[in-house]
Amino acid sequence: MLARAVAHISESALNHNLSALSGCAGVPLLLPIKAEAYGHGLQLVAGLAAAHPEVWGLAVATPAEAQAVARLSLGKPVVLLTPPAPEELTALADLGVRLPVGTLAEAEALPAHAVAHLKVDTGMNRLGARPGEAVHIGQRLAERGLLEGAYTHFASADEPDLSFSQEQFRKFQGVLAHLPPVLAHAANGGGVLSFGRLPGMSLARPGLASYGFAPEHLRSVLALRPVMTLRARVNQVHTVYAGESVSYGGLWTAPRDTQAAVIGVGYADGYPRNATLKASVLIGGERRRVLGRICMDQMMVDVTGLNVQPGDWAELWGNGKITVSNVAEWSGTIEYEVLTGLGVRAERVKSE
């Protein structure tokens, strides 16, 4: 069957962003491709990214993602960012997946052929060991010959005030000073765009920025390009007569006779229902608003005066007049949530 929605993944935009970000950071990238590569498609993005000369490796969030990417045999290291269960360790180590270590118990549980990245908690208070303990764990890992990398994660690098991030980075440097040389990585996208080169770092981990989005105050640092364009088909066009309402709850009433196109995307595809009465799409060469409630599988769009037929495509977000940032704003969330919420019904297709 034909896909009703297609997410076009631009190879040139991704390559442009990866080059720009590694240039800015002054180091190769450990590219986050967790959560289906921020919704862009795990296998598709892993393949594209692995071919980029400035991508050192690929970072994932779950053991299942690590296994899926490692089995692609792309020739680049796969780094798991959250702790696996003890019974998963051997299979992951067998696949060469780099494993995160944030406690002494996790370090001691590693098999002898494991490769570890020490996670240092410098203020995020999510995963990892506090600096003093991290030194001890890192030294133990190094004694066993398992320590390849060490990393930390900024909690507020996407905010204009960088004092907390600077404090985090100082703590991380303090740990590194007591370890043998390792692959050190700290910056997420906000960190790369805010700090550029960070002394002593070997890699950087920009996620959302690699897919084309930066916090508002950092948008002028690099000209990033949105990688995904989401299009959906028009399934029907009909007239709504003046005084009639459209969709659940009758939230919108036609002030005059209106042509409505029914588009095959809804909140089950990840288009946020909270964008109801705020959303617009690009259709027939114009920006047109969505009428009434966004449904599970469909939405209705005002195409009055346009020549729009069933089978035509509407652009829901992309690199033009409507971006994921707009959709996130209409629905009161962030680009991360909109992108990772894109469902499995939208086909991911590589494009220019």
Catalytic residue ranges: 34, 248
Regarding 17 and contact with ligand PLP (CB under 6 A), the answer is no
Query: What letter does residue 129 receive in the DSSP assignment?
Result: B
Interatomic CA distance for residues 56 and 76, integer angstroms: 6
Minimal distance in Å, beta carbon 140 to ligand PLP? Answer: 22
Q: Is there binding between residue 325 and ligand PLP (CB under 6 A)? A: no
Burial bucket for residue 43 (CB in 10 Å: 0-12, 13-18, 19+): middle
- Pairing type for strands 29-32 and 55-60 reads parallel
Exactly one of 128, 206, 215, 264 binds ligand PLP (CB under 6 A); that residue is: 206
Does 205 bind ligand PLP (CB under 6 A)? Our answer is: yes
Dihedral of alpha carbons 56, 203, 109, 66, sign: negative
Q: Report the C-alpha gap between 199 and 309 in whole angstroms.
A: 57
Examine residue 208 and tell whether it contacts ligand PLP (CB under 6 A). Answer: yes
Q: Give min distance, CB of 334 to ligand PLP, in A.
A: 10
| 327 within 8 A of 271, measured Cβ to Cβ | yes
Region binding ligand PLP by CB under 6 A among candidate stretches 206-214, 231-239, 282-290, 325-333: 206-214
Q: Can you tell me whether residue 287 is helix, strand or coil?
A: strand
Compare residues 263 and 338 and give the one whose CB is closer to ligand PLP. 338
Site for ligand PLP in 68-97 (CB under 6 A): 81
What is the C-alpha separation between 117 and 79, in angstroms, rounded? 8
8 Å CB contact between 169 and 7: no
The one segment of 129-137, 186-194, 234-242, 342-350 that binds ligand PLP by CB under 6 A: 186-194
The count of other CB atoms within 10 Å of the CB of residue 55 is 23
Binding mask 32-71 for ligand PLP (x = CB under 6 A): x---------------------------------------
Q: Which residue has tokens 């051997």? A: 90
Among 89-97, 133-141, 185-193, 323-331, the segment contacting ligand PLP (CB under 6 A): 185-193
Q: Which C-beta is closer to ligand PLP: that of 92 or that of 208? A: 208
Smallest distance from the beta carbon of 121 to ligand PLP, in angstroms? 11
Helix (H) or strand (E) holding 316: strand 313-317
Binding-site member from 188, 229, 258, 298 for ligand PLP (CB under 6 A): 188
Q: Which two tokens stand for residue 325?
A: 């940032």
Residues at the interface with ligand PLP (CB under 6 A) = 32, 81, 153, 188-190, 205-209
